[in-house]
């Protein structure tokens, strides 16, 4: 089975999948992790506020963390937080919406395609970021590459479901596009490395 030719056939058969190819091209061209620990620009601040507000946490102010130790501490508290639960609910709702037009095998094939297209680029960028920041910690590489891959899957789902530009998962991907790692909303802070 040739995945590329199968993907092309699927895109012809299912118009909702037409967004995947341009998205994969964008994700493959992102300069991942280039702004970790840096002071954010105005656009990054706006994206962070838009993400928090559209996710349902308008009181959460962006807090850009300066180093890996702070980010690691924040990353360890991410699961099962209210914001994490809200993202999971959005992901599940998007998956259900996409499955109204596609069968589960087709969706799995598309997500495999997205993963194959982006994984190496993200992992290479994560290793480069670790080297640049002098972080000798494999946990760092796994954490940032996993978070970036998840953001890609989520954004791809948004596109397959009809693509809203003001969707919180799109804003999350755009923060990665700006070179940051959006970690978690804890209390009234949206922690970003």
Indicate whether 6 belongs to any domain: no
- In the chain, the largest separation of any two C-alpha atoms, in whole Å, equals 50
Residue 1 above 50 pLDDT?
Answer: no
pLDDT 10s digits, 112-168: 999 999 999 999 999 999 999 999 999 999 999 999 999 999 999 999 998 778 999
Indicate whether 172 belongs to any domain: yes
Average model confidence (pLDDT) across the chain: 90
Average pLDDT estimate for 98-109: 91
Indicate whether 9 belongs to any domain: no
Residue 78 above 60 pLDDT?
Answer: no
* Non-local CB neighbours of 155 within 8 Å, separated by 6+ positions: 23, 27, 169, 170, 172, 173
Indicate whether 121 belongs to any domain: yes
Indicate whether 13 belongs to any domain: no
Average pLDDT estimate for 16-45: 91
**Nearest Cα residue to 90 out of 168, 146, 163:** 168
- The rounded distance, in Å, linking the Cα atoms of 179 and 156 is 19
Q: Specify the pTM.
A: 0.89
Number of domains forming the structure of the chain: 1
Indicate whether 158 belongs to any domain: yes
Residue 105 above 50 pLDDT?
Answer: yes
Indicate whether 126 belongs to any domain: yes
Residue 18 pLDDT: 80
First and final CA of the chain: distance in angstroms? 41
Indicate whether 5 belongs to any domain: no
Residue 29 above 50 pLDDT?
Answer: yes
14-25 burial code (b ≥16 CB/10 A, e <16): bebbebbeebbe
Q: What is the DSSP letter of 102?
A: S
Residue 173 Cα distances to 7, 33, 78, 94, 137, angstroms: 23, 12, 17, 15, 24
Which helix (H) or strand (E) segment holds residue 190: the answer is strand 189-192
43: containing domain: 18-192
Average pLDDT estimate for 1-28: 74
More confident residue, 164 or 10: 164
* Non-local CB neighbours of 144 within 8 Å, separated by 6+ positions: 33, 36, 126, 129, 181, 193
């Amino acid at each position: 089975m040739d995945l590329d030719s199968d993907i092309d056939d699927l895109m012809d058969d299912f118009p909702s999948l037409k967004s995947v190819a341009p998205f994969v091209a964008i994700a493959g061209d992102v300069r991942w992790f280039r702004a970790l620990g840096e002071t954010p620009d105005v656009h990054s601040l706006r994206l962070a506020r838009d993400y928090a507000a559209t996710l349902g946490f308008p009181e959460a102010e962006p807090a850009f963390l300066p180093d890996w130790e702070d980010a690691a501490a924040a990353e360890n508290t991410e699961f099962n937080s209210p914001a994490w639960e809200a993202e999971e609910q959005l992901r599940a709702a998007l998956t259900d919406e996409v499955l109204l037009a596609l069968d589960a095998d087709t969706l799995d094939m598309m997500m495999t395609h997205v993963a194959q297209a982006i994984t190496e680029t993200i992992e290479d960028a994560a290793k480069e970021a670790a080297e640049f920041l002098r972080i000798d910690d494999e946990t760092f590489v796994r954490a940032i590459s996993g978070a970036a891959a998840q953001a890609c899957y989520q954004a791809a789902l948004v596109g397959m479901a009809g693509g809203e530009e003001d969707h919180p998962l799109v804003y999350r991907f755009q923060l990665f596009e700006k070179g940051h790692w959006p970690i978690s909303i804890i209390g009234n802070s949206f922690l970003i490395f």
